[in-house]
Chains A and B, each alone.
Chain A
Amino acid sequence: MSFSTFVTDKAGLQQFYASIVEKHETYAPVEKFGNFDFVRVTSLSECDPASPIERTRSIKPLFFPRSAKIMKYVATSAGTEVSETDEDPYAGMRVILGAKHCDARGLQVLDKVYNWDYIDTDYQKRRRNTVIVSARCDKAAAHCFCTSLDYNVENLDAMDVLVVNGPDGKIYLKARTEKGENLLKSDVARHATSVADEASAPALKQQYEAFASSFRLKMNYTEVNGKLSNIFDSPEFEKVSDHCVGCNTCAFVCPTCHCFKISDEKLKDTGVRYKSYDSCNNGYFTLMAGGHNPRPAKYRRWRQRALHKFVYYKERFGDNLCVGCGKCTVACPVNISIFEVANQVASTAM
């Protein structure tokens, strides 16, 4: 099925965004303490869909919240009664404005793990009910390396509506899915004109080429992935991780990290069970009931992190778990770069 493309100008795009905010439950980047986080907005002036990528949080928490209630319980003399929690705040139909390509790709990668073994129905519902509008970046930030990985950034189909700032000053809006097609048809028609795919293709290509040439970080993914598959015992892991402070920041800001822990908020005989983020850099990660810790040393936890991103997930699901957004490097207290870690360790391979 082919989807339509529209062309408009800056004012038209703003009108398109404004009409989305007005009609739909909309989430967009809002600044707080210098960071942009995706929160519910009721007017376009509150948010900045073109927020800078290095200061924008991922959209992952809208699908896999930092903490989600999964059940309630009451203990009585007759036994324990378990009940569903209140309604999921993220279950309604909604639109996300200003998502970055890497974030959208992150969800595509996460879909595989959420569709495997245990099917997470909450996640599926949130995915089904969300329309993602994502603008292609014009310039790579210092720690971006999405174009070096195993996915095609130019023809990415992880978002529903693609927005491209054409080099000719025009703005191209391209539907990528049926949901995106419906959104465009209902909201953009008044502010834009339809254009054939062939007519818009050269502008889109030119914009992509300018973007792709702005990357500081480049690597040969196939080579790095191949070398890392065979390097479990490398002493280099100790060197690259020795100044890691051992916090959870990298995993908490990552658009693809999906480990979680279960904890209860208890009050006498009643309680609420939460599912919250966990991180493999946490010293107690997968600590077992008998006290056994499978990764007691920091470098072993870092090895798990690097290899899960670049090897294990690829082997199991066919996608690289790292999407190259650089959020972890920016957020890290000591700026450890996953790009450098992967390349440095791979470079010592035989």
Chain B
Amino acid sequence: MDYTKQIQEIAANLFAEGKIDVFVGYRTTGWDNNQVPVLIADPADVPKLVFNDKSVFNLVNYLKREHTRNKRVGIVVKGCDSRSLNLLLTESQVKREKLYVVGICCEGVTDEEGNKMQNCTECIVPNAVVSDVLLGTPTGSETVTGSYRLNSDVEVLHQKPLAERAAWFNEVFEGCIRCNACRHSCPLCYCEKCCIDQETATLYHGANTPSSAFHALMTWSMHLAGRCVDCRNCEKACPSHLPLHLLHKQNEAVIYENFQEHLAGVIEGDRGAFYKYSLKDPDDFIM
């Protein structure tokens, strides 16, 4: 999977035609084979762009207001990234006409050691669901709606007794240093002031204690219930290497069992459980 040439060509044309102000893509770090995001505003920098199985970061994160406010943006999206883009479109966070989307039919990305990422091995939406141009040959099933599947490691977690599961999650919370890298790397956390950071109305105090980490991470994962697209930006960003995806996957399992028919972000305009109220919603788990 290497679309470096095509992406450079597309970006150069977009700049030449005056269609975009900034192109969001990947470049190599300059010290190893890994890649980091790059925001290109000068057409002369287009040759820096690359794309291959090391293009891991979900670039939709840069469509948040603080990064590309009022700009026309060209962006590269893989399958999971495109689902988060779809959600931002549905939630009125970005305007489609301001975007030029280079969709990728993704064959999976690899971690620093060169192994395929775990979410990629179980991916069911490899092809970009939003795009102006689609690179690669679509693979996998054509209709991906409704095909929710429990993640293998969540299954392992589910088999543990409740007390053991709680103890395991507590260990995760203890490793948190409250740096908020997970939240800032999440493409779907776009609030300009997060409720967790409110310092006047102290819903959450800012101290770094296991209890505050529990509050912050749980609140965050609840806001992503039924929205998380499993891109793993949070987990890759975490300086403590906490297995954060399990929090989201745990919620997701409940959401799909009870409220939601489709995978988050696969259908344009589909508002997930977080935004939808229905009289048919089961409430048997509340009492």
Q: Nearest B residue to A333 by beta-carbon distance?
A: B237
Spot the interface stretch: A166-174, A187-195, A202-210, A245-253: A245-253
A105 at the interface (CB under 8 A from B): no
The reply to whether B181 and A242 contact each other, CB–CB distance below 8 Å, is no
B33 to chain A, nearest CB (A): 12
Report the bound CA distance from A122 to B57 in whole Å: 41
CA distance A147 to B240 in the complex (A): 27
Within 8 Å of chain B (Cβ to Cβ): is A277?
yes
B282 beta carbon closer than 8 Å to chain A: no
Beyond A35-B241, A67-B209, A331-B239, is A243–B39 a contact (Cβ under 8 Å)?
Answer: yes
Partner of A263, one of B37, B184, B199, B242: B199
When the two chains form their complex, are residues B202 and A247 in contact, meaning their CB atoms are under 8 A apart? no
Residue A223 interfacial (CB < 8 Å)? no
B181 to chain A: which residues have CB within 8 Å? Answer: 245, 247-249, 331, 333
Task: Give the chain A neighbours of B36 by CB distance below 8 A.
Answer: 243, 334-336
Question: By the criterion CB–CB under 8 Å, are B240 and A248 in contact?
Answer: no
Minimum CB–CB distance for B177 against chain A, Å: 5
- Stretch from B24-32, B94-102, B121-129, B137-145 forming part of the interface with A: B24-32
* Contact A266–B202 (Cβ < 8 Å): yes
A252 touches which of B177, B202, B242 (Cβ 8 Å) = B177
Chain A residues within an 8 Å CB radius of B57: 333-334
Q: Are A334 and B37 in contact (CB under 8 A)?
A: yes
Q: Does A264 contact B (CB under 8 A)?
A: yes
Q: Which of A249, A264, A274, A336 is most buried by chain B, counting CB atoms within 10 A of its CB? A: A249
> In the complex, are the beta carbons of B32 and A249 less than 8 A apart?
no
Residues of chain A in range 8-34 having any CB-CB distance to chain B below 8 Å: 32-34
Flag whether A87 is at the interface (Cβ < 8 A): no
Complex CA gap A284/B192 in Å reads 10
Closest to B32 in A: A142
B179 touches A248 (CB 8 A): yes
Task: State the CA gap A192–B190 with chains docked (Å).
Answer: 59
Known contacts A243-B38, A243-B39; A263/B241 CB under 8 A: no
Q: Do the beta carbons of A340 and B205 come within 8 Å of each other?
A: no
Cβ–Cβ contact A247 & B184, under 8 A: yes
Which single member of B180, B206, B240 contacts A276 (CB below 8 Å)?
B206
CB-based contact A33/B175 at 8 Å: yes
- A300 interfacial by beta-carbon distance below 8 Å: no
Question: A244 → chain B, closest Cβ, in Å?
Answer: 9
* Chain A residues with CB under 8 A of B239: 35, 249, 252-253, 331
Residues 243-288 of A at the B interface (beta carbon under 8 Å): 243, 245-249, 251-253, 261, 263-266, 274, 276-277, 279, 283-284
Task: Report how far A276 CA is from B67 CA in the complex, Å.
Answer: 27
Contact B241 A264 (CB under 8 A): no
Contact residues, B164-217 vs A (CB, 8 A): 175, 177-181, 183-185, 193, 197, 199, 202, 205-209
What residues of chain B lie closer than 8 Å to A246, measured between beta carbons?
66, 184
Residue A125 lies at the interface, judged by CB distance under 8 Å to chain B: no
Q: Which residues of B contact A33 (CB under 8 A)?
A: 175, 240-243
Most buried by A among B39, B237, B240: B240
Q: Does B82 contact A (CB under 8 A)?
A: no
Pick the residue among A32, A242, A251, A284 that contacts B197 (CB under 8 A): A284
Q: Are B205 and A274 in contact (CB under 8 A)?
A: yes
Which residues of A line the B interface, CB within 8 A?
Answer: 32-35, 66-67, 142-143, 216, 242-243, 245-249, 251-253, 261, 263-266, 274, 276-277, 279, 283-284, 298, 331, 333-337, 340
Other A-B contacts than A251-B179, A333-B181, 14 sampled, CB-CB below 8 A, are A142-B31, A242-B39, A243-B38, A246-B66, A249-B181, A249-B237, A264-B205, A274-B207, A277-B178, A298-B66, A331-B181, A333-B184, A333-B237, A334-B36
- Which chain B residues have a beta carbon within 8 Å of chain A's beta carbons? 29-32, 34, 36-39, 57, 61-62, 66-67, 175, 177-181, 183-185, 193, 197, 199, 202, 205-209, 233, 236-237, 239-243
Q: 3 nearest interchain CB pairs?
A: A333-B237, A274-B207, A263-B206
